[in-house]
Amino acid sequence: MFFSLMNIRSILMVLSLGISSFIGKTMYDAGEFKSIHSHFDGRCTSVYGLNGPEDITILDNGIALISADDRWKTLEGIPVQGKIFSYDLNDPLPQLVNMTQDIEFEFHPHGISTYQNKDGEIRLFAVNHTSNGNTIEAFVFQDDRLMHLETISDPLLISPNDLVMLDRDRFYVTNDHGTRTSFGKMSEEYLQLSLANILFYDGENFHIAMEGLSYPNGINKSLNGDTIYVSESIGKTISICSRDSENNTLILEKEIYLDSGLDNIELDKKGNLWIGSHPKALAFLRHAKDPEELSPSQVIRLSIKGNGDHISKEVYMNMGDELSGSSVASVYNNMLLIGAVFEDHFLLCHLGE
């Protein structure tokens, strides 16, 4: 009896130590123990008039396109129609313009991407999360509005997050999870399972382009289109991939560890990557449940050299009082726009010299 009790106590102690170690590792990996010091070499103003400006991309002419959806309302079970706004950075007094006010279907945009052909036609594709499933919505610019072209759907769109267009029809899209159920997704996140993937759409069908990823989030391409960049939020890395010329699968060439919950990727005119990021993942999860809970915001600029070397710089960091849960950083000239997953505003910042 004595030995049985001792064995039980030993087992319970081992289990307790194992659980404590798992919790501690999870908190450490999520950045819970990081010291956050707010800084930015410039000035920022808040732009209101929208909810959930999760993704922002800027056209060559200085028109910013902003994917916005009130995700708190969706979580409350009372979803409202999402929107895509334009915001002219060349206008001394820019105004938000709803580009999707004419659409009549359910619209909750997430990641967006654009492509402009030689004739000047601009197409925009958007990830859309509806009550009936996930889709990709295709639009074309027409008279300062986005005219809907088609809805693209497929069972492979398990959990689409962001996409990057290669031309007017083809694109890559990230599935940030590999499972469909809430329990499965939670298991992927807390156990840091690499079950997610990237899809390639050839204009007619989807194909798996890359597998074994840990929450692939943002995706973009190099200025010449030969290289694909992917951010992994749980993996905390930027994956640099080449494209197979025959089947468009992605080949991992290099990983850059940046120790943060990386979100969307945008490029400036020099080819530098600008990444909106969540330095404290658990703080972001608390913020997602309660607007009063602040989540630090971070912007990282990543410069990749021709010889494969890279330089990363933290351009912006804030405790979350200026903007909580930053998800994207997009640059035009000396202006930096920082968006967020849930907030009712984005930041228009002017970079210091």
> CA torsion angle for 345, 115, 255, 309 (degrees, to 10)?
-100
| Inter-residue contact 211 to 192 (CB < 8 Å) | no
Burial of 80 by CB count in 10 Å (0-12 exposed, 13-18 middle, 19+ buried)?
exposed
* Residue 100 three-state SS: coil
Concerning whether 207 is annotated as a catalytic residue, the answer is no
> CA torsion angle for 105, 53, 110, 210 (degrees, to 10)?
170
Question: Tokens at residue 237, please?
Answer: 């890395």
Q: In what order do the strands lie in the sheet with 297-304?
A: 39-40, 310-318, 297-304, 273-278, 261-267
**Phi and psi dihedrals of 7, rounded to 5?**
-65, -40
| Inter-residue contact 190 to 26 (CB < 8 Å) | yes
Rounded to whole angstroms, the Cα distance separating 248 from 55 reads 25
DSSP run (H or E) holding 11: helix 2-29
**Exposure pattern of 270-299 as b/e (b: 16+ CB <10 Å)?**
eeebbbbbbbbbbbbeebbeeeeebbbbbb
Identity of the residue numbered 112: I
Say which residues have a Cβ less than 8 Å from residue 290's Cβ, sequence separation at least 6: none
Q: Could you say which of 110, 129, 278, 287 is catalytic?
A: 110
Question: Tokens at residue 304, please?
Answer: 């990749």
Rounded to whole angstroms, the Cα distance separating 219 from 58 reads 15
Q: What angle do CA 91, 326, 138 make, to 5 degrees?
A: 65
CA 244 to chain centre: 24
Catalytic residues: 110
